[in-house]
Structure 1
């Protein structure tokens, strides 16, 4: 069966071979809550759909309009089998309960590098920050080189920001995107970090300047979310 959990996902789970992230736009905070409830109802009334799905988590955006979905699959083949047999019935029921959901995008990733505080396994994140990077055209080597440059900037940071717990960098399978799933103690800690001198959460160093002006860097967006729903096999 399907069990609801408040435990947030382990982004370093060794059996996750295909982490997916998608965004829905629902319009208002009330519809965010209604959609989360509809997802929970739809899934918990059914058996767990596939052994290759290790967990499914939903987050409410601080913009009051969006939902982030994170599903942890063993492989893309497992996801493909789910789409053929179980996905549509769930989509139909959720759309009946909450009409007018806009499904913005689904992106497929592989986790590349993670880092953070030594005590991060004992910390419960109060806020999840998603940094979405897009490059001009596919280039897997550029994706990884940029992430490596971020770690170099973090390691040389003269004024580390307080409140950050961990950062998990994922590279898109299409070669154009990088997603950082960052865990913070609270939204205010992240807001304070952004307000400190420098650009973003980094100081005005040459290493951060290199990250921010990387050749081919097309766009960068930052969004804050709260974990609202976890679904796992019982």
Structure 2
């Protein structure tokens, strides 16, 4: 059985050994909503596909064009078995309901570090911000060192924005990217933080400058999303 939830996922769940992220480009706000519902229908009418899948969540992008998918797998072999036997039937049904979805690729990750209160201090995220950082080649040590530098900059920041709830840093298994899944109390809080003095979220400090000019840093993109659908084993 598959059941729907409105609750945000627990990114720090220790059972999650293989968190996967993917993005679809669907084109318009109407197609975003139709795609979310198509995913819900395709999954809810079928049994939960694998014991190794703890949860599957879909988010609508504030760009009015994209969807973010976040799947919490216990391990990669569980996903591989699903992909071989049960993924395609769901994809075919979704594509029939909403043709011409552009799937932009799957990023296999491991969560490296998280910050913020484990219980969110009773605050419900009003916006999810994903920062996707790409380096110029595979280097797991560099991924970890860069994330550690971010935490140093956060600890040193004289004026952290109060709208940030949590940050969960994931490193891609190919060694080239870091994805920060950050929970904010609202999109406006995140926009206000970007508009504050400094380059990006952080204040104008030497440690934030080190983060932003890290050797080999190729690109950094920021995207805002709303949690639209959560699916769990029932």
Q: Give me the TM-score of the superposition, normalised by structure 1.
A: 0.99
1:83-94 maps to which residues of 2 (within 5 A)?
Answer: 83-94=83-94
Counterparts of 2:202 and 2:37, CA distance in 1: 37
Residue in 2 that maps onto 1:56: 56
Deviation at 1:118, TM superposition (A): 6.5
Residue in 1 that maps onto 2:20: 20
Counterparts of 1:159 and 1:127, CA distance in 2: 21
Q: Which deviations, in whole Å up to 9, do the C-alpha atoms of 1:123-165 show, x marking residues without a partner?
A: 2100000000000000000000000000000000011112000
Deviation at 1:122, TM superposition (A): 2.1
Deviates more, 1:110-119 or 1:159-168: 110-119
Deviation at 1:105, TM superposition (A): 1.2
Residue in 2 that maps onto 1:73: 73
In structure 1, list runs of 5 or more residues that go unmatched: none
- C-alpha root-mean-square deviation of aligned residues, in Å? 0.8
3-state SS, counterpart of residue 86 of structure 2:
helix
Q: Structure 1 residues 207, 130: CA separation in 2 closer, same or farther (over 3 Å shift)?
A: same
Q: Which deviations, in whole Å up to 9, do the C-alpha atoms of 1:71-125 show, x marking residues without a partner?
A: 0000000000001110000000000000000001110000000001465152210
In structure 2, list runs of 5 or more residues that go unmatched: none
Residue in 1 that maps onto 2:136: 136
Residue in 1 that maps onto 2:151: 151
Residue in 1 that maps onto 2:164: 164
Residue in 2 that maps onto 1:203: 203
Q: Which stretches of structure 1, 4 residues or longer, exceed 4 Å deviation after superposition?
A: none
Q: Structure 1 residues 139, 3: CA separation in 2 closer, same or farther (over 3 Å shift)?
A: same
Contact 1:109-1:172 within 8 A present in 2 as well: yes
Q: Give me the TM-score of the superposition, normalised by structure 2.
A: 0.99
Contact 1:56-1:70 within 8 A present in 2 as well: yes
Residue in 1 that maps onto 2:96: 96
Counterparts of 1:108 and 1:118, CA distance in 2: 24
Contact 1:162-1:193 within 8 A present in 2 as well: no
Q: Structure 1 residues 194, 58: CA separation in 2 closer, same or farther (over 3 Å shift)?
A: same
3-state SS, counterpart of residue 46 of structure 1:
coil
Residue in 2 that maps onto 1:214: 214
Is 1:42 matched up with 2:48? no
Contact 1:131-1:221 within 8 A present in 2 as well: yes
Counterparts of 2:55 and 2:119, CA distance in 1: 23
Q: Which deviations, in whole Å up to 9, do the C-alpha atoms of 1:165-188 show, x marking residues without a partner?
A: 000000000000000000000000
Counterparts of 2:14 and 2:144, CA distance in 1: 20
Contact 1:172-1:178 within 8 A present in 2 as well: yes
